[in-house]
Amino acid sequence: MNPASVLPGQRDKQRFVREMFDRIAPRYGLVNSVMTFGLDRRWRRLAVRSLGLPVGSRVLDLASGPGEICDVLGTWEYRAIGMDLSWGMLVARGQGSGQDRVQGDAGYLPFASAAFDGITCGFGLRNFVDPATVFAEAGRVLRPGGRLAFLEVSVPRSRVLRAGHGLYFRHLVPRIGALLSDGTAYRYLPESVAYLPSSDEIADLLDRAGFVSVAIRQLAGGATQLVCGTRRS
Ligand SMILES: C[S@@+](CC[C@H](N)C(=O)[O-])C[C@H]1O[C@@H](n2cnc3c(N)ncnc32)[C@H](O)[C@@H]1O
């Protein structure tokens, strides 16, 4: 590993991630909007729309952060519950947001099997210690036919876009983050792409966790990806 890297080792990752998000929670939403030129809101709306579930469906939002996806789930009249490792993120918009939320690790879900109709997750996958365990847990708590929609950063496939994106993501984003929030956290962001499973690996992990009709869609020229799947009946 690069000695100048901020990435923690596997054993320290959960603590590092929790402490980092606790630290950046107060300005998380602001930095996100600036960094993505406001596109993050559009991506979250797309993820929720892709669930295609009836009104009143029960949806668990993993790695919910301050609750932006839960807000969108609410506008679709879904019954949303947010779950996040970082207490700071969960209460970043105040303790009385009116949203149902629980602090915990997405790899050990404190819910009964088949308890949910849908699962969403925005930009959490890279941060999990073991994505396979999270997908397996998602498969367990989703009812057969239930839907999953995960958003995550990605790397554009086109060489030209990849070069431009690399410049922005690896050089400008850490500077913007350091200016507005926390230097280490926004160096971690581009470096943590190294933790991301490839599209093939994601599809394979989802297959093993009991998902079918897995589709991975590139957004914003490939800077972001939306992973969807259906729990096998
Ligand atoms: C980049 S933020 C995303 C927040 C929000 N979903 C969004 O769309 O902006 C990643 C979130 O994942 C949470 N997280 C990381 N590891 C987790 C885990 N093992 N279980 C639950 N949440 C986790 C972090 O605390 C953080 O709030």
DSSP sequence for 65-123: TTTHHHHHHHHTT-EEEEEES-HHHHTTT-TTSS-EEEE--TTS--S-TT-EEEEEEES
User: Which ligand 1 atom is the nearest neighbour of the CA of 64?
Assistant: 6
Most ligand 1 atoms within 8 A of CB, residue of 41, 43, 123, 141 to mutate = 123
CB 28 within 8 A of CB 91: no
Give residue 149 CA to ligand 1 midpoint distance, Å. Answer: 15
CB 207 within 8 A of CB 190: no
User: Which ligand 1 atom is the nearest neighbour of the CA of 18?
Assistant: 25
Q: What tokens does 131 get?
A: 């994505």
CB 142 within 8 A of CB 118: yes
* pLDDT by position in tens, the chain (length 233): 566 899 999 999 999 999 999 999 999 999 999 999 999 999 999 999 999 999 999 999 999 999 999 999 999 999 999 999 999 999 998 876 678 999 999 999 999 999 999 999 999 999 999 999 999 999 999 999 999 999 999 999 999 999 999 999 999 999 999 999 999 999 999 999 999 999 999 999 999 999 999 999 999 999 999 999 999 99
Read off φ and ψ for residue 81, nearest 5 degrees. -135, 130
Nearest CA to ligand 1 atom 10: 124
Q: Which long-range contacts (CB under 8 A, 24 or more apart) does 12-19 make?
A: 13/127, 13/129, 14/85, 14/105, 14/129, 17/85, 17/86, 17/127, 18/85, 18/86
Nearest CA to ligand 1 atom 8: 122
Domains and CATH numbers, the chain: 10-231 (3.40.50.150)
Most ligand 1 atoms within 8 A of CB, residue of 33, 41, 89 to mutate = 89
CA distances (Å), origin 78, targets 47, 186, 194: 13, 32, 34
Residues β-bridged to residue 165: none
Q: Which of 229, 216, 58 is nearest to 147 (CA)?
A: 229
Ligand 1 pocket by C-beta < 6 Å: which residues? 17, 21, 32, 44, 63-65, 68-69, 84-86, 89, 105-107, 122-124, 127-128
Angle CA 219–227–91, to nearest 5 = 90
SS3 for 12?
A: helix
DSSP sequence for 124-176: -GGG-S-HHHHHHHHHHHEEEEEEEEEEEE---SSHHHHHHHHHIIIIIHHHH
Give residue 160 CA to ligand 1 midpoint distance, Å. Answer: 30
